[in-house]
Amino acid sequence: MLAAGCVLWRRAERSGELEICLVHRPRYDDWSHPKGKLKRGEPALAAARREVLEETGHHCVPGAPLPTVRYLVDGRPKEVFYWAAEATDGAFVPGSEVDRVCWLSPAAARTRLTRDRDRDVLDALLTALPDGRPDHPGPRTSGS
C-alpha cells in the first residue's frame, strides 16, 4: 500500500517560532502527521497535498522530501512518502477521519506523536530546516 503526507509547519504569528501541525485520528486514537493513501494513478506529492488539505483544512507549499517510512499494517507492507510543507491559508473543520489538530513547538510535537516513526520524520524536518527554521525569515504576508 502506498501513502503520502507532509510534516506541516508554520511560523507562529506573534513569536515567529516554528510550529508543527499534528492530527488526531479518533479511529486509532493517535496523533500523527497528515497522510493518506494514494488514489489510482495519483502522484505521491499530489496525494500528500490533497491529504494535508483534507485532514487539516490548510493549503501548503511542499519543500524538501523527507525520508520514506516503511512498516507493516495487518501483515501487509505500507510505504509512506513525506515532504516538509509550509502551511498557507485555510482553517480546520473537524470530521470523522480527523477530529482535532494542534499546532505545537517541535519539542511538544515530538512528545505528542504516538509513534516513533513519526518522530523520526519530524527529526528529518528539523534537520532539513537549518536550526529548525525555514529558508526564509518569516511567514508570507500579502504584498511580499
* Each residue's pLDDT expressed in tens, for the chain with a length of 144 residues: 999 999 999 998 888 899 999 999 999 999 999 999 999 999 999 999 999 999 999 999 999 999 999 999 899 999 999 999 999 999 999 999 999 999 999 999 999 999 999 999 999 999 988 655 544 333 333 333
Model pTM above 0.85: yes
Handedness of CA 108, 46, 128, 144 (dihedral sign): negative
Structural domains of the chain, with CATH:
2-131 (3.90.79.10)
Question: Residues 128, 63: contact at Cβ < 8 Å?
Answer: yes
Residues 6+ apart with CB under 8 A from 104: 19, 20, 22, 112
